[in-house]
Structure formats: C-alpha cells, structure tokens
Amino acid sequence: MKTIFRILFLLFFCHLSAQVKPVETVYFEFDKSDLYNSQIKTIIDFAKNADTSKIESIQIYGYCDDRGDNEYNYKLSKNRVKTVQDILTYNGFNKNKIVIIEGKGRVIIQTDSIDDLTEIRNKNRRVDLFVVKKNSFGKGIYNSFQEKHKVGDRIYLENIFFALGRSELTAQSKKELDKIALLLQKNGTLQFEIRGHVCCTPSSLDDAIDSATHERKLSLNRARNVFKYLVSKNINSLRMSYKGCGNKFPLGKGEALDRRVEFLILKI
C-alpha cells in the first residue's frame, strides 16, 4: 500500500511540475521564517542576475510542513514569503514586478503512508518563486491595455486578483479599476466582455462556490462585481457585458493568475 501511495504521490508531483516550475526554491528550518546564508545567497543571485526587461512579473508562494494548526501555519508561510520579498527588493529587484505574494499554509500529507517523512517535510518548508516572462501568454493576450487592440484580444487584469473562494473587490483592485475606467473613458468606442475565472476546481464542475453566497457562481460573481464597479465609474453599461468562465481557460502560470478577471475585446 505504501508503494502504491508513493507512486501516486510522485505522479501527482510530477504532473504539477510539468505544468508550472518554480525558477527558484528556498527551504526553511522547522518553525522558522528566516533563512540560512546559503539560501539567502540563492535569492540574491537571482535578484542580481535576472533580466527584468524580459520578466512580466514574479509570483512568490510560501509553504509549511504538515505539523501545527492551520492559522499558525498560514501566518508562518506568509512570513516566509515576506522574507524572500524583502531580500529581493533590498538587493535591487523591481518591487513592481512582484505581483503575487501568498502564504499557502500547510502541505497536507498522509504521514502513515510515507517512508521518508523527514525528507518530504524538509521539502515542504519552502518558498517558490515563479517567473512570468513577457509575451509568454500567447498571441493576443496582454496584461494591460495597449495603444491599439483588435477584436478578439484578451487583457487580463494583472493587479486584480481574488482571495480563494471570494468575489469581493479589494481596495487594491478598486484602485486598479479606477485607472482602467479612465482609459475606457478616453476610448469611448471600445466594447468588451468581462470574463471571470476560477482555479482549483475539478473540470467536471462548471464553476466554483462563492463563499459569500454559497452558490456555484464564483467566476460569474467576480465578473459581475467588476462590471458593477465600472458602471459606478460612469462607464456605459451598453459597452460591456460579463460572463463566468469557470476553470475552462487557465493561463498555466499559477493559481493566482487563474482566479482572475479579463476583458475580451468585442468592438473597436
């Protein structure tokens, strides 16, 4: 049984790795959020050698092993992410490129089914850095409005993300939408569809559950909330529509970018 579980675990891990690979990973001691000098050097080397002209953004995710309660480990994983973020920015990395910093908490495992438990736990106490390269999303997909667009272009809103299972707009998201509203007011002929997306749900389900309404309409509610906010900023509702896309269109660049809202250009 242990052998079967181990094979399944490795297959699952390899599947995730094939989808998105971190460019750097640093590891932490048990119950610690500071790093050894060797791990600090890994981050410093990345900060100094990275060609930021080719980098769209950086995502930083922190994890803990399976011991301890959820609340404590979420806080610890966030502190680990903060440690890495501070090292990056202190050593000259452009802080505006760091668009996602997220503590994931515990990595749950079945301890009675793993032989090398210590090794697995050591690897789970980590922070992963993911790089999104410029122009890596494919033709016609952008992370901001361009001077010229064509029908069918998609603009994902890089600074408008959502907490897992939530559809409410954060204060940061509203600030970003304020900027977008000004752009849309200047380009009064542009018509578009607002599309909401979710991550981390089985493909057999149409959408995820919104924790506020308890309905399986999370991607729709995210798009609707953006629509309503733009209307409140005097963007004509006839120029735009909204739609929930569920998990049908992942970008393949990490969970946070998959729970997003984007614009689909319908008319110039």
User: What is the CATH number for 103?
Assistant: 3.30.1330.60
Q: Which pLDDT belongs to residue 113?
A: 73
Residues of the chain with pLDDT under 70: 1-21, 134-141, 158, 252-254, 256
CA gap 140, 150 in Å, rounded: 8
Tell me: do 125 and 201 sit in the same domain: no
Lookup: tokens for 150: 């064509």
Q: Which pLDDT belongs to residue 135?
A: 56
Tell me: do 259 and 146 sit in the same domain: yes
Tell me: do 16 and 90 sit in the same domain: yes
Tell me which residue range forms the domain holding 70. Answer: 2-133
Model confidence pTM above 0.85:
no
Tell me: do 97 and 179 sit in the same domain: no
Tell me: do 74 and 150 sit in the same domain: no
Tell me: do 123 and 145 sit in the same domain: no
Tell me: do 64 and 151 sit in the same domain: no
Kindly list the distances between the CA atom of residue 105 and the CA atoms of 39, 93, 100, 117, 230, in Å, as whole numbers in the listed order: 20, 25, 15, 18, 34
| Helix H or strand E segment including 98 | strand 98-106
Tell me: do 7 and 120 sit in the same domain: yes
Tell me: do 149 and 245 sit in the same domain: yes
Domain count, the chain: 2
Tell me: do 126 and 156 sit in the same domain: no
**Are 176 and 160 a contacting pair, CB within 8 Å?**
yes
